[in-house]
Amino acid sequence: DANFRMERQELITQLHAEQCSCIIHNKGITHSFHERGVKDLHRLLTQEPTLLDGASLADKVVGKGAAALMIAGGVKWVYADVISEAAMVLFEQSRVEVQYKQIVPNIINRAGTDICPVEKLCQECKTAEECLPLIDKFITDMNR
């Protein structure tokens, strides 16, 4: 429907205008996030899961770990500037509608030297659920 399309386009525009990492729109309210990697999504899934449930989300980079968190959270629509093939595979198994600018074989780490650590961590996982405990441990270790 036209309202949905306009709302989604506004999210994409806002993502780029605000230079944030992620924008989530749910129940008429838009929230923007600035943490790197999967930190914001992980925090939302563990502390404010209702924000993700049924949400539309625009993100700069979506790898397999981010996709797993979005799927687990019940996100309905995702836009990504860049998405990995592994993330797309997970989304195709779910009910999430995906729109993207560019698809890449893997998300690369910030140094540009290797595959993103979370993407690498989740490589062998077949489902979003299998990724979650690995991401939990990664975040916990990172915060030590």
> For position 144, what pLDDT does the model report?
87
CB 89 within 8 A of CB 50: no
* Neighbour tally for 143: CB within 10 Å: 7
Token digits for 117? 């650590």
Backbone φ, ψ for residue 102 (5° rounding)? -140, 135
CA gap 100, 83 in Å, rounded = 7
Determine the 3-state secondary structure of 78 from DSSP: strand
Please state whether the predicted TM-score (pTM) of the whole model is above 0.85: yes
Backbone φ, ψ for residue 100 (5° rounding)? -150, 160
Higher pLDDT, 55 or 19: 55
